[in-house]
Every structure is written in C-alpha cells, then in structure tokens.
Structure 1
Amino acid sequence: MTISKNGAAALVQSMINQGVKYVFGIPGAKVDQLFDLLENTDNPAAPQLIVTRHEQNAALIAAGIGRLTGVPGVVAVTSGPGVSNLATGLITATSEADPVIAIGGQVPRGDLSRLTHQSIASTALLKAATKSSVEVETADNLSEVFANAYNEAVSPKPGATFISIPKDVLSEPVTVPEIKALKPVHQGQIDTESLATLVSQLKTAKRPAILVGMRGSTPAVAEALQKLLRRYHVPVVETFQGSGVISHDLEDQFFGRVGLFHNQIGDQLLQNSDLVLTVGYDPVEYEARFWNPDRTGQTVAIDSVTPEISTDYQPDLTVVADIAASLNAVAAALPEGLVLADEQQRELQDLRTTFAAQNTVPDSKPGQGVHPLAIVAELQRQVTDETTVTVDVGSHYIWMDRHFRSYNPRHLLFSNGMQTLGVALPWAIAAALVRPGKPVISISGDGGFLFSGQELETAVRLNLNIVQLIWNDGFYDMVKFQEKAHYGRDAGVTLGAVDYVKYAESFGAQGLRAETPAELQAALTQALATDGPSLIDIPVDYRDNIRFVTDSLADL
C-alpha cells in the first residue's frame, strides 16, 4: 500500500484519531515539521498548537489536561535541553496519576550514536520519569507507538509516556494507515465473595471510616461514593488529591484532609477507626506510617491498581477492579436502615465541632498582612462549585488543604506526590482551556509563582480568565517554619522583593494589591469580573505557621 504522507502528517492524524485537542510546547529544528503542520493545517479537527515559555510548564499544562479530563495531554519539544526540561513535569504527572504523552525531537537516526549537536540519550534520560519511554525507528511505526503511548498513559495507574522521534522520521514517507480511535478498556467490578465480606465488615464495624485518595476523585467514583454515603453515613477523610468528593448534602460526613503533618481531625479519625476503607489511595500522597501507625482495626482497599504493601499498610481485603462499579455494588448490597451507634455519632459530632472551630479568623492589626484564614474565608465566599482552584506548593497550600472546602471532584488541585513548585498557573491554564466560561483561580506563594510566572504571558495571549493570587511574605516559608521548629533558626529561605503588580502589567494582565481583608474582597470581586488574566498580590500574615509542626493530636 502506498500512502502519500510523511511521518509528521501521520503523527498529526494519529492525534486527531485519538481526540487530542491541544499540543503544548516550544519549537525547534527537530520538531519544526510537526509544528508547521499543526500551525498551518486546514483540518478543523487538528489539535491546537499552544506555544509556552518553558518546556517544564508545557508538560505541567499537559498534565493538567490529563488530570481534568482523563485524556492524555500532549507536549512536544525539540531535542537536547528541550527534552531534558521535561523531566520535572513528567515525573510529577507519573507520580500523581496524570496521563500525558510527551514527544521529544531527536537528531537524525544516522547521528544517534555520535556526539553531535543536541544528541542525548532521551529515552534513557526520561525512563525514570515516565511509564514508558521509546524511540521511533521508522515512520511506519509512528501511529502504533503513539497509540500504545496513549493506552499506557491512561491505564491504571495513569501517568506520563515519552516518545523520542528522530528528525528524519518526521520527513520519511509513511506506507501504512494510522491507528483508529482506541476503545476504552474497562475493568470488572468487585467479585461476589469480596462484596459479601466487605458488606459484612461494614455492618459489624463500630467506627468505620473511608479514606479517599487520588484515584478516588474522578467524577464517576465521586458519584458512586456519594451514593454509598447516602446509604450509610460513614465519615470520610480526603487526601489532598481526593479533594472535592463530598457534595454539599453530605458535608456532615466530611472530616477534613490528611497529608504532611500527623495532627489533623482526619488523622485522629483514621487512627481510632476499627475499619478503614481506602478508595483509590496512593501512598505517594501520605504514607500509611503517618495515618495507620499501631492501629488495630481492619483495612480494606478498593483500587484500580494493586496496592503497594508496607509494614504499615497490609489490607485485610484488597479489591482491584473498577472503583466506581465496585462502590455502586457495595451501596446496592448494604441493608436499609444501617446507622452508626449513638455513641459513635456523638463522638463524630464532637469532632465536627472541633473541626468547624478551626476556621475562625483571628484578629489582625494594620500593616500585619492578611491572615491565611481570612484569605480562605474570602475565597470561600466568592467561589462557586464550578470554580477550579489550582494550588501551588508552599505554606499557603497547607492552609488551603486544611480549611478550604470544595464540593466538586477535581476542582481543587494539589501536587502532593512530588510537591512540585510552579504547578498552579500551568494547571490553571489547562482548566481555563477545558472549562471555558468557568471561573479559574490559581494560588501561589511568592517563591513558587516565579517558577512558572512567565506563563502569565501565555494566559494573556490566549485571553484566559484566570485570577492569580500570590501569598507574599518574602520567604520560602514552608521550609522556613520547619527549619525554625527543628533548629531554632532558618537558613537559605530569604527572597528579594518583586513588584508583582508591575510584573502582571508588563505581560498585559491586570495587577492588583490587597493589604487588608476588605481590600482583598474588592480585588477578588474585580478580578473575577475582568476579562482576561488578573493577579492579586497579598502580603500574608504567617505568624501561625509554626503550629503546623508544634500542634499534636492531643491538642484537638
């Protein structure tokens, strides 16, 4: 069969066949044929090419697409440093179960074994950062490789895949047709014996609890979990990436999130439980040695992947199957009228009272900065359930995790596998693209923001309605308060001053500053009503951060 197209054209058609909507990246000589086709195609189904300001950020935007849609985001870069700059974005995606397909240009095949310009062992370099890392040897294999990379990226546990493509492969003639649209691969649900065992355990447990992790936060799993919780009012604890699985009507069953420091309401609840049901839990977020030490109760795991066993996490029953289908089966099998004993309900009510009191905003003085709880309270007043809130890493993300409520799965995004600085704005760009017309708020510290702040220009160029908040204190504060707790002093955490209002304006975005809660209210209202990106610089009062590490479960 003779087909008159080259490798680049076959690759673009392969993307079309698999429903890829966007390709993010930075151009270069080894991928210029691909970029030329994407930029100049007259096919309305072709992916939109979005040029970014750094390859790492392109990978993070693609990961955001993957997390929000379940469909792999695609990033394409040139050889050498273009490829090496992908590493952090791809390892973050793989750790945190975000499907991504990364395409890296490579020197021509005849130069692969030579020390020539931008020649690096790309597949070896990115093998540790991805689920699969392969190099295409002929153009006829391009579509197959892309299809298999797609399947690998979405299969449990989702993550990043990498394809290295020599420059001459993109120009080589293709003689075979592209792979057609792939069909979803479905897992089965919980088996009859395990279902009966789990239902019996739930019926007899005095203090059951559910821990929802990253793979438990898809819309389908959240819907199934909510069905179960309406059947049996079991308390629920979320990990950072499990955020948003509890709807408004089930709020009395929400007992916070766990991660980082072992001193939360959720930690206490899990520690005292005689049956913990983990749903899509991944230890990369919060290892069991923190929430499960010396606990004597049973543990049941429902997940799409086989759990990693450790001294502190050895489930008594493991179900590897479709999580949503399995939860639906459990809900249907539970008897009517199953309720917790009065004593347990009183215990939970006491915990709820303590939990609610933690949101009280302390008094502040002029010039002291805005307290994190005041920022969280204002955000809570102005967001809707349709608002996507992306959170960078730093002290601010601990406050957001502990106090900000979200009632829609995958609308509050954290990086708690790799804790990668700079994720918030790239993820916000992804959210604004896949959820047009819906509010998007990106939250960073002054340290993490400048890891990806140059993408503000990308947001302006695309006219995306993103509100960027910067909690500004002049330090890498998440390190600072822990150093002070450990050593009585800090080191290597001081940052120089930046005028973030002028920084935003230099890119064509709206820049605002809010030094009091009242000013924050006005600025946030203005920013949410503005067409295009806005940035709000907020001097923050971090006086209470030391309590993250000095408070204990005994203080609850």
Structure 2
Amino acid sequence: RLAAPVAHTTRAKEFIEPDMPNNVGMTGILGNRAGMEAMGDCDLLLCLGSDFAYTQFYPGKAKIVQLDIDPTRLGRRAPIDLGLAGDVGDTIDALLPRLVPREPGKHLDRALKAYAEDLKGYLDSAEEPDPSLIHPQHLTELLDRFAAKDAIFTADGGSPMVWLLRHLSANGERRFLTSLLHGTMANAYPQALGIQESYPERQVIAMCGDGGMTMLMGDLLTLVQEKLPVKLLVYNNASLGFVEMEQRVEGMLDAFTELHNPDFGAMARAIGMEGMRVDSATELDGAVRDWLAVPGPALLDVKVNRMELVMPPKIEPAQVGSTALFGVKAVLNGRADEVVSLMRDNFLR
C-alpha cells in the first residue's frame, strides 16, 4: 500500500522472500547492500515484529515506528519515535483501510534495482573457472538447484549460515533453521537429527563446517542406528582445529598451514553409511546429485576454498583502520596469536 521497499532479517527470509514483490533482501552484517541502503535512506522505518539487533544498521535520521507483541522489546535496540504493543497481523489489518495507496517512487525503484544487482553478484561469485578450487558459493548454488522444493535446511553458525542465507532460495515450502539468537557452534547436525525424526518424509539437509562435524562425529552412529536419512554436507575448508601457535611474529604464517582433517566420507563409510569426498569442481555436479539421491543417511565431504572472504554488505574505512591499528599494537606487545585469531575470525573464515 505504501509502495515501500521491504527489508527483512535473517529469520524472516523464508517468509518474505518467496512472494513479496517489494522485497529488497536482508539487512544487517549478513545481509546485502540493497536491504541495508533501503533502510539507511528511508524517512520512516516501520519495524514490524522484529527485534533486529544490529544497531549500526538502523537509519541515522529517519523516524522509527516499532510494533511488537512484547512491549519489553520496544526501543531496546535503537531510539524509536512511536512504540506499539500488539499483534502485527491484527494491527496491519486495522491500519490498511486508513492508508491511501501510493505509486512506486524513486526510493523503491532504486532499492529494487540494487537488489537485482546483489542477486547477480551472488550468482557471479558462484562461478567456478578453476576446477581445482571449489568456492563454497558454487557448492551452495548447486545444492539450491538440486535439493527438494520442500527441503528443510540447517546450517552451522559461521560461514555455512552465510551461504544458506545468501545462496539458498526460499519458495514458500522450504524451511531454514540456523543458530542465530542462540549463537552456538555445531548446531546444524543435531538440529537435522531432530527435524528428520519429526518430519520423516521431508528431505533434511545439514550444512556443516568441518569444525562442527569434528565436534559431533559420534552422532554419525546415531544416524546409522536410527536409520535417519539426513544428508550431511561438510564445507571442509580446514580452517578450524587445534593449532600450535608461537608467541612471536615468525610463527604467524605457520598458523595458516592447512589442518589435517580426516576424510569424512571414508569415515562415514566405515560406520555403515554412504560417504563421498570431492576435491575437484568437475566432479561436484554429479556428486551432489548422487548424494541427495541416497535413500538413507549420507555425507558429502567437499574440500572448499579455505581463504574465502565472508564480507558484510559495506565496509567502512574506519573498520579497516581500527583492525590494522589493533594488529600493529598486538605485534608490538608480543600478542601475534591474537592477530592471527582476529584475521581468521573476521576475514578468512
């Protein structure tokens, strides 16, 4: 009715994305540029049933109206001009007859154009010119293409969650569950077990990091014993594990040597379930198809690019400068291991 852009949070993806013509994508650190800029450029922000936590992504000058069924959430993330406690659906039904329909304007047109560019950028990042280097975006695009239309996806906190949110398409039937508010690691695998037990006829896919998989390898036995047809996809970038780091600058490069994860596919086969391993992009298409077609539990271990950047929709110069300044101070203070940890967490995951 307002001809306004609609930006959504991570948890609203599956509900807003399928059939909302004014959708301009996600906002926040995991979101896309169009969603972020639509909020940043607005005169009035209607925050509907959302407890959006990233304060730095709220508009600086716009008026903010927040509607939530829990009054304790009103204004706790950013200052608001009007707070309303109530049910979103009932409130909108009462409000719509009072609103005069508006024609789409430059704000919506600009946001929709930017969103189309964001989506194209996601597709471009999934192209695979080098068969020896598998980008996780490419793997996730294949998963999106071959997974069932009503599949249920879970993803570990970290980069698998980013690939789910950015590269899996919501169609109104698929469901998505990530850690988000809980903020835990290694959540995809146990979530998938419970979901598959509850929905035995649905395809359930867990997008696991190699760290998440190594934390819970014992439950592979549960999959076999309970005959749960969960499909486990391991984004094996060999970047999470126990690494000896020396307290000196000379030891920094040693910290980035590849960790020696086991062959998860071979390990799965050893305990009685289907297990596959892929190291080349030329094998990936067929492997994803075969893995999803297995009638019982199956694990696909894919060696993905370990230096993949997970970038926010916009990087401010001050953020780069502060990170560099911290690095210099840490090295001078003999805290090189903290620099390594910061770089891995923020740039190399």
Instruction: Report the TM-score, using the length of structure 2 for normalisation.
Output: 0.76
Q: State how far apart, in whole Å, the 1-side matches of 2:85 and 2:74 are.
A: 14
Q: State how far apart, in whole Å, the 2-side matches of 1:263 and 1:409 are.
A: 23
Give the CA deviation at 1:328.
3.6
Amino-acid identity (%): 24
Give the CA deviation at 1:236.
2.2
Q: Give the counterpart of 1:423 among 187, 202, 208.
A: 187
SS at match of 1:302: strand
Q: State how far apart, in whole Å, the 2-side matches of 1:331 and 1:379 are.
A: 39
The 8 Å contact of residues 264 and 553 in structure 1, kept in 2 or not, is answered as no
Instruction: Please show how residues 350-365 of structure 1 align to structure 2 within 5 Å.
Output: 350-359=113-122, 360=124, 361-365=126-130
CA RMSD of aligned residues (A): 3.0
Q: State how far apart, in whole Å, the 2-side matches of 1:409 and 1:305 are.
A: 28
The 8 Å contact of residues 240 and 414 in structure 1, kept in 2 or not, is answered as no
Q: Which residue matches 1:379?
A: 143
Q: Which residue matches 2:249?
A: none
- Describe the shift of the 1:262–1:428 C-alpha distance in structure 2 as closer, same or farther (beyond 3 A): closer
Give the CA deviation at 1:247.
5.0
- Describe the shift of the 1:307–1:403 C-alpha distance in structure 2 as closer, same or farther (beyond 3 A): farther
The 8 Å contact of residues 38 and 107 in structure 2, kept in 1 or not, is answered as no
Q: Give the counterpart of 1:300 among 59, 65, 71.
A: 65
Q: Give the counterpart of 1:511 among 262, 275, 278.
A: 275
Instruction: Please show how residues 368-517 of structure 1 align to structure 2 within 5 Å.
Output: 368=133, 370-408=134-172, 411-476=175-240, 495-517=259-281
Q: Which residue matches 2:8?
A: 238
Gaps of at least 5 residues in structure 1 are: 1-230, 478-487
Q: Which residue matches 2:311?
A: 548
The 8 Å contact of residues 22 and 108 in structure 2, kept in 1 or not, is answered as no
Q: Which residue matches 2:54?
A: 287
Q: Which amino acid aligns with 2:65?
A: V
Q: Give the counterpart of 1:264 among 33, 41, 60.
A: 33
Q: Which amino acid aligns with 1:532?
A: G
Q: State how far apart, in whole Å, the 2-side matches of 1:459 and 1:331 are.
A: 49
Q: State how far apart, in whole Å, the 2-side matches of 1:550 and 1:282 are.
A: 20
Q: Give the counterpart of 2:112 among 349, 356, 359.
A: 349
Give the CA deviation at 1:355.
1.2
The 8 Å contact of residues 64 and 80 in structure 2, kept in 1 or not, is answered as yes
- Describe the shift of the 1:313–1:446 C-alpha distance in structure 2 as closer, same or farther (beyond 3 A): same
Instruction: Please show how residues 215-234 of structure 1 align to structure 2 within 5 Å.
Output: 231=1, 233-234=3-4
- Describe the shift of the 1:321–1:345 C-alpha distance in structure 2 as closer, same or farther (beyond 3 A): closer
The 8 Å contact of residues 30 and 313 in structure 2, kept in 1 or not, is answered as no
- Describe the shift of the 1:272–1:491 C-alpha distance in structure 2 as closer, same or farther (beyond 3 A): farther
Give the CA deviation at 1:307.
4.4
Answer 1 or 2: higher relative contact order, Cα 8 Å, separation at least 6: 2
- Describe the shift of the 1:311–1:332 C-alpha distance in structure 2 as closer, same or farther (beyond 3 A): closer
Q: State how far apart, in whole Å, the 2-side matches of 1:513 and 1:273 are.
A: 48
SS at match of 2:19: helix
Q: Which residue matches 1:182?
A: none
SS at match of 1:245: helix
Instruction: Please show how residues 12-411 of structure 1 align to structure 2 within 5 Å.
Output: 231=1, 233-250=3-20, 252-260=21-29, 264-283=33-52, 286-288=53-55, 290-292=56-58, 295-308=60-73, 313-331=78-96, 333-335=98-100, 337-341=101-105, 343-359=106-122, 360=124, 361-368=126-133, 370-408=134-172, 411=175
The 8 Å contact of residues 150 and 174 in structure 2, kept in 1 or not, is answered as no
Give the CA deviation at 1:550.
9.6
Q: Which amino acid aligns with 1:304?
A: I
- Describe the shift of the 1:467–1:277 C-alpha distance in structure 2 as closer, same or farther (beyond 3 A): same
Q: State how far apart, in whole Å, the 2-side matches of 1:298 and 1:429 are.
A: 44
- Alignment size in residue pairs: 305
Q: Which amino acid aligns with 1:277?
A: L
Q: State how far apart, in whole Å, the 2-side matches of 1:382 and 1:442 are.
A: 15
The 8 Å contact of residues 364 and 371 in structure 1, kept in 2 or not, is answered as no
SS at match of 1:267: helix
Give the CA deviation at 1:497.
1.8
SS at match of 1:548: coil
Q: State how far apart, in whole Å, the 2-side matches of 1:332 and 1:498 are.
A: 61
The 8 Å contact of residues 227 and 297 in structure 2, kept in 1 or not, is answered as yes
- Describe the shift of the 1:492–1:374 C-alpha distance in structure 2 as closer, same or farther (beyond 3 A): closer
The 8 Å contact of residues 33 and 313 in structure 2, kept in 1 or not, is answered as no
SS at match of 1:315: coil
Q: Cα deviations across residues 327-351 of structure 1 (Å, max 9, x unaligned)? A: 343445544x43332x223312321
Q: Which residue matches 1:205?
A: none
Instruction: Report the TM-score, using the length of structure 1 for normalisation.
Output: 0.50
Q: Which residue matches 2:322?
A: none
Give the CA deviation at 1:232.
5.0
The 8 Å contact of residues 58 and 78 in structure 2, kept in 1 or not, is answered as yes
Q: Which amino acid aligns with 1:326?
A: T
Q: State how far apart, in whole Å, the 2-side matches of 1:537 and 1:269 are.
A: 38
Q: Which residue matches 1:186?
A: none
Q: Which residue matches 1:31?
A: none
Give the CA deviation at 1:519.
2.4
Q: Which residue matches 2:291?
A: 527
SS at match of 2:300: strand
Q: State how far apart, in whole Å, the 2-side matches of 1:489 and 1:276 are.
A: 46
Q: State how far apart, in whole Å, the 1-side matches of 2:313 and 2:86 are.
A: 40
